Structures are given as structure tokens and as C-alpha cells.
Structure 1
Amino acid sequence: MIDKLEFFITVAKERSFSRAAELCGVTQPTLSAGIKQLEDMLGVLLVNRSSRFHGLTAEGERVLVWAKRIVADARAMRLEVRNLREGLSGQLKIAVIPTAVGILSALAGPYLEKHPGVRFKALSASSSEILTMMDNLDIDAGLTYLDNEPLGRVRSTPLYAERYRLLTVAGNPLADRETVTWADVGSIPLCLLTPDMQNRRIVEALVGEAGGAIEPVMESNSVLLLFEQVKAGRWATIMPEKLAETLGIGGALRSIPIIAPEAVHQIGLVVPNRDPMIPQVAALLAEAKRLAPLLVQKG
């Protein structure tokens, strides 16, 4: 039963029988037969298809919700039984928005010291991608924004407040200022994250509220690439304070607070809203709660 539900979830995600079969490690006839057996068991058609995938039926959409829940619970049960015997082990998959990558080590380091049998797999993703991956059971947790856009059915733990800085070098426009406004930064050449990133949408909204408009000369989904462009003296960028500290400010590089108004957004850990929780995830949530007050004190 569980393997057939996993087949169905993968087909729904990939929208292709051939790709789903490859990911599940079975032949396409085996996968198709498994889904047909699931349909026969439930007495409904789940997938609109001929020789190709044409989407889920209305019944299929509802079954997909239950399938994800059942498969997630089955995985949690297997992990809990194994952990009772061996202690925490296996792989913990976490996705992180680019602007929060500097906090991952503060969370993962102490966690791995306490649970050396666990291996971390960390991915960089946008906030919307993190929620989609969590819903599809592709990740166990995420580091993302908590208060700017809807999160859906997840458990969240705030870690720190994201405040913003203009990152530039001496000689560039505004580089001699002690503080700048959002109207100021909207008037100079900027390199920014791509529009699919929530940080970019936050920046655009703040500059827009100040009466300006963002027209970046360069876009990237990599904060490191943006940082290198600024260091080279080409353009300025807008970067969260903690990330700028992590990357290192020195020499001609300047990190200037953006005020009027000072914008703040919450960054935190999100995990599936599931009970019982996978032990590895429960331990990560506990570590996040331990870390949060330390980040506030540091801030």
C-alpha cells in the first residue's frame, strides 16, 4: 500500500509516468500497475490519462492530500523505531532562503555535535519553493520568512529579525552616508536577487512605498555573486544585516543602515505540522528554540 501511495505522489509531482518511474526506481509498467491497483482498491479514478499524464481527477486531488499524510507518517514511524534502537541517524534535509544561509551553521553545528549520526543535506531555495518541497515530502525543514507571506500548515519557530543594509564601496553613490532611506537606495544602480525571491519582493515593496521603483542593473539567485559584484566596485546591493556580517565587511566595503522606515521581518525554522514528529526534526526544533534567544542577545 505505502509503495503505491509513493508512486502516486511522485506521478502527481512530476506530471510524467516515465520520470516518476525513474525516480521511484521501477519500470513504467510497474508504476502504472501500482497506481491502477490503488485505484481499484479505492474504487475511483485518480489520474486522467491515456498514454500520457493529463492531471489528477477531483478524487485524485483529495487522495493526494491523504497519501502525503500517510506516507509521511509511515516514514516517521520507521525512523522512530530505528532511532529507538540506534539513536538519531540518517539524513536530515533542510532548505534555506539565500539570505539566511549565514544562520544555518549556527543551527547545524550544535545539532550535529549532539547527534553525530545524522547527516545534513542543505539546499538553497526561495520561500515558495521551500513550502512546496515540504508539502511534497522532499525536505524535512526550512529556514525562511515567517511574517511576510502565507506559510500554510507548518510549525514555525522565530530565530531572528532581518534588518537591511545598503552594501557598497567607497566612492560609489551614498557610500559616504551614515544612514540612507529607502527612497535613496531606489535612485542608485543596484544588483539584487531575482524576483522569485521573497527578499526581492520585500525590497521592491519598501522602495515602492517610498515613492521609487527598482530597476536593477543585474539580478542573481546567488547572494555570493551579488556580494562579489559589490566588492569589485561595480554596483551596490541591499542585504540583510546578519548576512553582511557573515560575509565580512572591511576595507572599502561599507554596510549602511537603511532607515525611514526601518524595516524588520522575522526569519525562522519551519517544519511540517505533523504529530508525532520525526525525531530528527523534533531535535532540530528543540535546537532552534535554544538558539533563538542567543541570536536576539547578539543582535
Structure 2
Amino acid sequence: MIDKLEMFIALARNRHFGRAAEECGVTQPTLSAAIKQLEEQLGVMLVWRGSRYRGLTPEGARVLEWARQIVGDARTMREEMRAVKQGLSGKLRLAVIPTALAMMSSLTTPLSARHPNLKFTVLSRTSAEILQLLENLEIDAGITYLDNEPLGRVTTVPLFAEHYNLVTRADTPLSDRQSVTWAEVAALPLCLLTPDMQNRRIINRHMAQAGAQVAPRLESNSVITLTSHVLTGDWATILPLQTAEFFLASGALSAVPIVAPEAAHLVGLVAPHREPHTPVLDALLTAARRLGSPSD
């Protein structure tokens, strides 16, 4: 039944029989037959059918919740038995908000040193996408904001607080200031992350609190794109200090704290709220707690 549940999860995720079959590595008739057999075993219709996929029935939506839990538990069991036999190994799949990507090596490098047979996949995603990927069992954990928008039922480990800075080229006005206000920043030619990013929604809110309205000249989902524009001297951006520090080493850029209000938001690890965790995920949580509490 586990294989059928995995196919059902893939179908719900892709909303298309052909794409789900391709993801599972089977033919479309094989996947359709597996879903039909699952319906017969459970005695309910799971999928509205027509000439194409038309969504889950109410019973299908409830079964999807059970399927995610059962498949997740089955994967945990397999991983635990593999760790007993082979030691900690396998692939750790992580999704990270763009402003936290620069700190990922602080987490993955010590973990890799302790467990050299681990491999990592790190994806850049929005906070909403991270929670969706986590729910769909497509990632093992994520790095996102913990205190700004609802997270749902997840395990969390705080890592650091974001403090926001104006980032400009070092030879431009305001670059030598001790601080700037959100209202002052709003008047600059800005390039910012796109509105689907929680970082951008945070910036918009603090701008509004200062009585200013943000109207960026350029938007991107890439921090690299933002900083490359700032380096021309014609643009400025707003980045958390942890992210800005990555680009300050050359001396070409300057980061100035933004005040009035002086804002901070907590960023941390999110993982499925499931016990026990896989040995790999448990090792990740331990590494995150060490990183988030360096004095311990």
C-alpha cells in the first residue's frame, strides 16, 4: 500500500496523471490502476475523474493527510534501519529563503564534517513554497521566518535574527552614515526582492509604519541580481546584515543599519512535526541547535 500512497501523493501534488506517473517512474496506466486499487481498498472515491484530473474528493483530501503521515513514517523507518546498518548517510533536501542562503555553509559544513557520507541539496524558495514542499514530503527541512507569518504544525529551531540594512556602493551618499531611517531609504532608487518573498512583505510593512511607500525600480527573486545592480552605483537595496556581510568583503559596498523603526525578525529551521525523526533529520536538528546557541 505504501507505493500506492506515494503515487497518490504525487498525483495530488502534480494535479495531472501523466506528470505524476513520470515523477514516480511508472506508466500512466500503472498509476491510474494503483489509484483505482487504493480506492477499492479504502472503499471510497479519492479523485474526481473526467477527461482529465479534476481534483480530490472530500474523502481524497482526508486520505491525503493520512498518506503523507504514513509515507513519512515509512521513510523514517527505512532511514533508521539503513543508519543502523550503514551509519548516517543519504541525501538531505533543504529549501531556504534567499536572504538566508549566505549562512547555509555554517550549517552544512559542520554537519558534513561529522557525517561525511551525507549529501545535500539546497534550493532557494519563498517561505510559502518551503511550507508546501515540507507538507508534500519533497524536502526534509527548510530555513524560513519563524515569527512573522503562520507556520502551521512544524518543529522549529531558531538560528538568528534578521536586522535590516541599506546596502549601497561605498562611494555613494548615505554610505558613511551610522544609520538611516526607513523614510530616507524609501526615497532612493531601490531594487528589492519580489512581493512573493516574505522579506519584501516585511520591508513593505516597516516602510508603511514609517509613513513611506516603497516603489522599487527593479524587483528580482535573486539577491545576486540585486547586489549586481547596487554595484553600478545607481541603485540601493535592503538586506539583512547576515546576507549583506557576504557581499561586503570586497569593500565595494557599504551596509548602514535602518532605524525608525529598528526591526528584527527571527529566522530558523523548520522540519516536519513528526516523532521519531529520521536519523539524518535528527542530526540536522542537532547541528541547527548548536548553530543557534553557540555559547552552549
Question: Would you say same fold, with TM above 0.5?
Answer: yes
Alpha-carbon separation, structure 2, partners of 1:251 and 1:193: 23
Asked if 1:28 corresponds to 2:28, the answer is: yes
Alpha-carbon separation, structure 1, partners of 2:253 and 2:139: 36
Deviations 1:78-136 (A, max 9, x none): 11001000001110000110000121100000000101111001100011100000000
Deviations 1:196-229 (A, max 9, x none): 1000000000001111111100011110111111
Asked if 1:48 corresponds to 2:44, the answer is: no
Normalized against structure 1, the TM-score is what?
A: 0.96
Alpha-carbon separation, structure 1, partners of 2:261 and 2:234: 27
Amino acid at match of 1:49: R
The corresponding residue for 2:121 is 121
The corresponding residue for 2:204 is 204
Is this contact kept in 1: 2:210–2:261, CA < 8 A? no
Is this contact kept in 1: 2:96–2:123, CA < 8 A? yes
Amino acid at match of 2:55: G
Cα 1:251–1:79 change in 2 (3 A) is closer
The corresponding residue for 1:290 is 290
The corresponding residue for 1:225 is 225
Q: Which runs of 5+ in 2 are unaligned?
A: none
Cα 1:267–1:131 change in 2 (3 A) is same
User: Could you tell me the percent identity over the aligned residues?
Assistant: 57
Alpha-carbon separation, structure 2, partners of 1:170 and 1:158: 32
Question: Equivalent residue of 1:110, what SS?
Answer: helix
Please report how far the alpha carbon of residue 178 of structure 1 lies from its aligned counterpart in structure 2 after TM superposition.
2.0
Is this contact kept in 1: 2:231–2:253, CA < 8 A? yes
Alpha-carbon separation, structure 2, partners of 1:69 and 1:228: 43
How do 1:128-277 and structure 2 match up within 5 A?
128-170=128-170, 172-277=172-277
Q: Which runs of 5+ in 1 are unaligned?
A: none
Cα 1:170–1:86 change in 2 (3 A) is closer
Alpha-carbon separation, structure 1, partners of 2:279 and 2:94: 15
Is this contact kept in 2: 1:207–1:213, CA < 8 A? yes
Is this contact kept in 2: 1:173–1:188, CA < 8 A? no
Cα 1:87–1:62 change in 2 (3 A) is same
Amino acid at match of 2:292: A
Is this contact kept in 1: 2:247–2:253, CA < 8 A? no
When the two structures are aligned, how many residues end up with a matched partner? 296
Please report how far the alpha carbon of residue 173 of structure 1 lies from its aligned counterpart in structure 2 after TM superposition.
4.3
Is this contact kept in 1: 2:76–2:278, CA < 8 A? yes
Alpha-carbon separation, structure 1, partners of 2:98 and 2:155: 21
How do 1:57-96 and structure 2 match up within 5 A?
57-96=57-96
Is this contact kept in 2: 1:183–1:207, CA < 8 A? yes
Please report how far the alpha carbon of residue 188 of structure 1 lies from its aligned counterpart in structure 2 after TM superposition.
1.1
RMSD, matched Cα: 1.3
Please report how far the alpha carbon of residue 186 of structure 1 lies from its aligned counterpart in structure 2 after TM superposition.
1.1
Amino acid at match of 1:22: E
Cα 1:252–1:104 change in 2 (3 A) is closer
Please report how far the alpha carbon of residue 171 of structure 1 lies from its aligned counterpart in structure 2 after TM superposition.
5.0
